[in-house]
Structure 1
């Protein structure tokens, strides 16, 4: 497995553990046992993010995608798990986040091409 593929797989894992930690934080308000999942989720997310950076992925790309994807997925997860509404304005924000992540990734790819030339 190449470092690039490994980095992306680790980034997906970091995003999912951060989202799980965030959703568990809401669940812990009524079920305090979920605080253990909050700690494991956030600790796991940061450890995985550090592992992503060790694969050579740029910090701006990794952190930008991790943070933005976490926000969008947490909003969607809170709709599914807790029935919290997503308003039109929130939906537009999620679309803007996705567009921003795409811009960061495309910009990083363009920068790599310039650097390699």
Structure 2
């Protein structure tokens, strides 16, 4: 499998859609608000569609690790910036470990097809 720039574009779209969908999940108030609930559903569906397109040329394990890792990081950032949900030191350390894992995969793994 030889990843293409388009595959990383699809993966970026999947990550952005998932993060926005999760923000709307927070705004849906446990599915009691219709518009945020619908936005969440559409964005999650888009995220999985975009991820499926990225999987045409990215290995599943690599794509999912990047999607999940960056999704966690960006969702935590949205939580802190938009919803004022501050993280404590152990949470920040855990996210730093996730970031380091994604970096190691992308820089050193031969599985990623670089």
| 25-34 or 7-16, which deviates more | 25-34
Corresponding residue of 1:13: 13
Distance across 2 between alignment mates of 1:94 and 1:108: 20
Please tell me whether the aligned partners of residues 28 and 36 of structure 2 are also in contact (alpha carbons under 8 angstroms): yes
Q: TM-score, normalised by structure 1?
A: 0.85
Q: How does 1:27-42 map to 2 (within 5 A)?
A: 27-29=27-29, 32=33, 33-42=35-44
Q: Which structure's CA Rg is the greater one? A: 1
CA RMSD, 1 decimal: 2.1
What is the aligned residue count? 111
Name 1:108's counterpart in structure 2: 109
The two structures have a TM-score, normalised by structure 2, of 0.87
Stretches of structure 1 that go unaligned for 5 or more consecutive residues are: none
Shift of 1:110: 6.4
Cα distance per residue 1:31-75 (max 9 Å; x no partner)? 712001110111000000000011x11111101000111011101
